[in-house]
Amino acid sequence: MHLPSALCACAWLLRELHMDLQSALCALRSLLGGVSARALPGVLHTLRGDAFEDLFQCNEDAVLRNIAGELREALPAEAMLSSEHQAMQKMQQSFEPTVHVDSFLYEDTLIDQLCEEGRMSRHYCLSCGSQQTAPLGFISHSFSLVELKFLFQHALPDLSGKTLVDIGSRLGAVLFGGFLYSSAAQLIGVEMNAEFCELQGKIINKYHFNDRIQVLHADICTQASLLQDADVIVLNNVFEYFLDEDAQISAWTFINSCVCKMGALLVTVPALEESLGKLQTGIDLNHWVEEVQLDYNVYLGADTDSEALQNIHLYRVR
């Protein structure tokens, strides 16, 4: 085998065959045995470098990265809008100095690059002028590309014929990821912020996503029938930073009363126990759902952050 075909074969093997580590290493060894002596040093060199990572990028990743680039252009660096008064206020009350870095818009490699260029920092100064620094808290309001791949390619079952509702769809990351990485029949976002709805609408039209994606500008508490009929409901850090405590309690109580179709799936970040543990909702979690155990031990490219993946939880309605 020559160099390009050997590398493509390695990438295909690792991506498509879903092997465990030992079998993958065995298969790789035997594959490398078939590489010509002239090509072998080049193959081994490339396997160790970034170019090999690029072979894992598929068309869908490229489309999502393109969308992220367009949204970065359209938004301020923190990807927050001045119309998000309540969210802004809540962040200012945060104890730890925190920056908003939207993981869908800014992948780790891009953050590293911006830090190197001095346009972003992962640290803040403890006493002005000194060398003492501490890590900044990062808050993301969207799933990253890696989290979306994990969600649609590993965590959720085949979604053919199913309807997914993303509560608080914001930039549309879940909807676009679901369009590209799953066969879901309908992907419906509900977002209370009008400007974000408009932004999602522009992307949906531009990329011709209209046949499977729809965005509703609404408070989720007005969408009973949508929730009753949904097969998958996504709640990614949805209320904590955006609603006061009473409104969070009302929203969770409403969702609990509507989402009762047996077998419907809930995807949440963080765990339901954590979100509800802070609130007096009276929801009996064990009666409502059972948790589906996920395998977080997956490789989805150099940006795979298994800690972040472990915040994603899946539940089935009883």
Ligand X SMILES: C[S@@+](CC[C@H](N)C(=O)[O-])C[C@H]1O[C@@H](n2cnc3c(N)ncnc32)[C@H](O)[C@@H]1O
Residues that bind ligand X (CB under 6 A): 104, 141-143, 166, 168-170, 173-174, 190-193, 196, 219-221, 236-239, 242-243, 251
Which residue's beta carbon is nearest to the bound ligand X?
Answer: 168
Q: How many CA atoms lie within 13 A of 72 on its CB side?
A: 15
Smaller CB separation from ligand X, 215 or 264: 215
> What count of other Cβ atoms lies within 10 Å of the Cβ of residue 300?
21
Tokens of 72: 């970065």
* Token output for 163: 């309807």
Q: Which helix (H) or strand (E) holds 213?
A: strand 213-217
- Return the number of the residue (46 or 169) whose C-beta is nearest ligand X: 169
Output 6 or 175, the one with its CB closest to ligand X: 175
Q: Length of the chain, please?
A: 318
User: Closest distance between ligand X and the C-beta of residue 254, in Å?
Assistant: 9
Q: How far is the CB of 188 from ligand X (least distance, A)?
A: 12
| C-beta of 226 vs 243, nearer to ligand X | 243
For residue 205, the minimal CB distance to ligand X (Å) is 19
Q: How far is the CB of 17 from ligand X (least distance, A)?
A: 30
Phi, psi of 281 (to 5 degrees): -100, -20
Our CB check for ligand X shows the closer of 35 and 150 to be 150
Tokens of 19: 């092997």
Taking the complex as a whole, the smallest distance from the CB of residue 170 to ligand X amounts, in Å, to 4
Residue from 315, 300, 313 nearest 107 by CA? 300
Q: Which residues contact 252 (CB under 8 A, 6 or more apart)?
A: 239, 275, 276, 279, 281, 283
- 21 membership: H or E segment, kind and range: helix 21-33
